[in-house]
Amino acid sequence: MSMLNGLSYGLLLFMLSAGLTLIFSMMGVLNFAHASFYMIGAYFAYQLSSWSNYWVGFLIAPILVALLGGLFERYMLRKTHKFGHVAELLLTFGLSFVILELVQLVWGRTSVDYAIPTAMQAPLFKLYDSTFQTYRGFMMLVALLMLVSLYLLLKKTRIGLVIQAALTHPDTTEALGHNVPRVFAYVFAGGCGLAALAGVIGGNAFITEPGMAQSVGAIIFVVVVVGGMGSLGGALIASILIGLMQTFAVGLDWSILGGAKSLGVEITSATPGYSLWSLKLSQIAPILPYLLLVLMLIVRPKGIMGTRDE
């Protein structure tokens, strides 16, 4: 059961990091505001679903956010391009700041009631004693569909071909008559749209509040670094790994103390470093992704599927 929950969380992380990775590998821009687009996606979906129904929000919110992302790229990000990647990163950092404030301005500082549609609240099936909610299944389905269509779009269509060409050889692609800046804008918009889609399906599965961007933002950066900068495959593996790791860890009460006990070593509160040994795995769950990051950097700095090492 943890397995399935972890998998659905991991796939959600992948929906987020896929857009981030695409934008990064293409434009070299680390979109710091990516998680903010995820948040706006959830809020837009909440607003639209409160006006009509869930499906309207599901379809329209990502499109609206993609539009916003495209406008941001066209009128702001492109202007800082000449100042280099650090300026671009700073711009998206500032944007995340402004988006957070605007969200609080429009929807308030507390969480909003963005509910799962009643049809999908029912359990899908029962395994042992725990139930698996239909909505979780729906999340996984959407994520997998997105994964497949992203793969097909990039590998099998003409648009994907142009995107891949612009990714590695922007000058040549431009010389062949393609408008590379426009391709960039589309990719940026697409990435933001993906983040918003993740927000639409993740916002009600978890919670829709102003803090949601920050809580997930750092994790998706870990995913991108661990997976290897700019590698979609690596991002998929890393997000599922982290998703599983976090869900499993929360449910486990293991600690070094317990492990030592089963080996016959007794650790008491008098032993030096007792508070460290007695920490339960469930307690350190929030820092596991970051420990993984540090470990990865020491063992394999380029990430799971990374090709270049700076």
Partner 1 sequence: MNSMMKPIHFKPLNGVRIVVWSAFALILVLLPAIFNSSFAMTLLCFTGIAVIACLSYNMLLGQTGMLSFGHAVYTGLGSFVAVHAMNQIVAGWYLPMWLVPLVGGFAGLFFGVLFGYVTTRKSGTPFAMITLGIGELVFAAALMFPWFFGGEAGINSNRTAGKEMWVNFGLSFGPQIQVYYLIAVYVFFCTVAMYAFTLTPLGRIANAVRDNPERAEFVGYDTRLVRFLVLMASSFFAGIAGGLSSLNIEAANAELLHAIRSGSYLLFVFLGGAIFFFGPILGAVLLVFSLFMLSEFTKAWQLYIGILFLIMVIYAPGGFSSLIMLNLRRVKYGEWRKMRWPYTWMFLFGLIALWGFASIVEMAYQIQVAAGSGSKLTVMTIPLDAASTTSWVIAVIVLIAGGVAFEYWRRKFAKVWSDGEERIADAIKKAEAAIV
Could you list the residues that contact partner 1 (CB under 8 A)?
A: 24, 28, 30, 76, 79-80, 83, 85-87, 89-91, 93-95, 97-98, 100-102, 104-109, 214, 218, 221-222, 224-225, 229, 275-276, 279, 283-284, 286-287, 289-291, 293-294, 297-298, 301, 310
Task: State in angstroms the smallest separation of the CB of 31 from partner 1.
Answer: 11
213/38 Cα distance (integer angstroms): 7
Residue 243 has, within 13 A of its CA and on its CB side, a CA count of 23
Task: State in angstroms the smallest separation of the CB of 54 from partner 1.
Answer: 25
237/101 Cα distance (integer angstroms): 33
Instruction: Output 11 or 224, the one with its CB closest to partner 1.
Output: 224
Instruction: Output 34 or 136, the one with its CB closest to partner 1.
Output: 34
218/223 Cα distance (integer angstroms): 9
Task: State in angstroms the smallest separation of the CB of 48 from partner 1.
Answer: 19
Q: Which amino acid is present at 291?
A: L
Instruction: Output 80 or 271, the one with its CB closest to partner 1.
Output: 80
* Closest to 41 (Cα-Cα) out of 24, 53, 58, 54: 58
Query: Phi then psi for 280, rounded to 5 degrees?
Result: -85, 155
Pairing, β 123-127 against β 130-133? antiparallel
Instruction: Output 25 or 134, the one with its CB closest to partner 1.
Output: 25
5/185 Cα distance (integer angstroms): 34
Task: State in angstroms the smallest separation of the CB of 152 from partner 1.
Answer: 29
Instruction: Output 153 or 295, the one with its CB closest to partner 1.
Output: 295
